[in-house]
């Protein structure tokens, strides 16, 4: 079930407060403060990573859609092995599922998830008194900000396209620049996750 609006804010704060004050009974004042800050950071980090994982799944689906479209377009063309009439009909049916509305919806869903991830990452890097420069987290935020701009541009360009069927999707042979941009969304989000989980990858 989904949680939305003010109820989500209240739910999030209650969960945060519960996690924040989990420490050992015998801890002194400074140990409790350190534990409280660590608990707060870890809770916010987990939420941010969960969000970016959702975005990765959405980007992967778009990436997979492009491959399905390319494969079935080849069946309808004269490239490669000649497809039978039955195979061509199946290809047409599969391609009919991909429309301008679907692409727009998928991109906007991805954009919303990335914006939510950015907001959580921003919240993560604003913990007063937490002893960190948040270097990798700031790099992750920068990447998320870049992705937001890129996807907004892709949406605007796609909306101006007069095609309404599967042909609105870019391919390697037609509009390859946008094709690589769509494909790269998945890898860029993986980099964001790697930064947040501290895999040692340096952002470029």
Residue 201 lies in a domain: no
pTM over 0.85: no
Residue 204 lies in a domain: no
Domain range for 82: 5-196
Residue 49 lies in a domain: yes
Give the tens place of pLDDT for each residue, 73-112. 999 987 767 889 999 999 999 999 999 999 999 999 999 9
Residue 139 lies in a domain: yes
Give the tens place of pLDDT for each residue, 42-83. 999 999 999 999 999 999 999 999 999 999 999 998 776 788
Specify the pLDDT at position 22: 55
Q: What is the rounded end-to-end Cα distance, in angstroms, of the chain?
A: 38
Residue 93 lies in a domain: yes
Cβ-based burial of 170 (10 A; exposed 0-12, middle 13-18, buried ≥19): buried
Helix, strand and coil percent figures for the chain, each rounded to 5? 75, 0, 25
Residue 61 lies in a domain: yes
Residues 6 or more apart in contact with residue 66 via CB below 8 angstroms: 169, 170, 171, 179, 182, 183
Residue 203 lies in a domain: no
Residue 202 lies in a domain: no
Report the number of distinct structural domains present in the chain: 1
């Amino acid at each position: 079930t989904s949680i939305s609006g003010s109820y989500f804010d209240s739910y999030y704060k209650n969960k945060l407060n519960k996690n924040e004050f989990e420490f050992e009974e015998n801890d002194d004042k400074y140990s409790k403060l350190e534990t409280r800050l660590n608990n707060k950071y870890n809770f916010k980090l987990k939420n941010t990573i969960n969000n970016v994982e959702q975005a990765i799944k959405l980007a992967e689906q778009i990436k997979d859609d492009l491959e399905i479209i390319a494969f079935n377009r080849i069946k309808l063309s004269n490239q490669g092995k000649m497809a039978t009439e039955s195979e061509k009909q199946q290809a047409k049916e599969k391609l009919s599922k991909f429309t301008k509305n679907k692409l727009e919806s998928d991109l906007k869903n991805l954009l919303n998830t990335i914006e939510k991830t950015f907001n959580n990452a921003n919240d993560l890097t604003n913990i007063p008194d937490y002893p960190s420069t948040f270097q990798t987290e700031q790099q992750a935020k920068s990447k998320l900000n870049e992705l937001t701009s890129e996807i907004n541009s892709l949406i605007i360009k796609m909306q101006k396209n007069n095609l309404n069927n599967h042909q609105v999707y870019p391919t390697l042979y037609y509009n390859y620049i946008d094709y690589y941009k769509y494909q790269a969304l998945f890898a860029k989000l993986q980099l964001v996750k790697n930064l947040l989980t501290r895999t040692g990858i340096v952002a470029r």
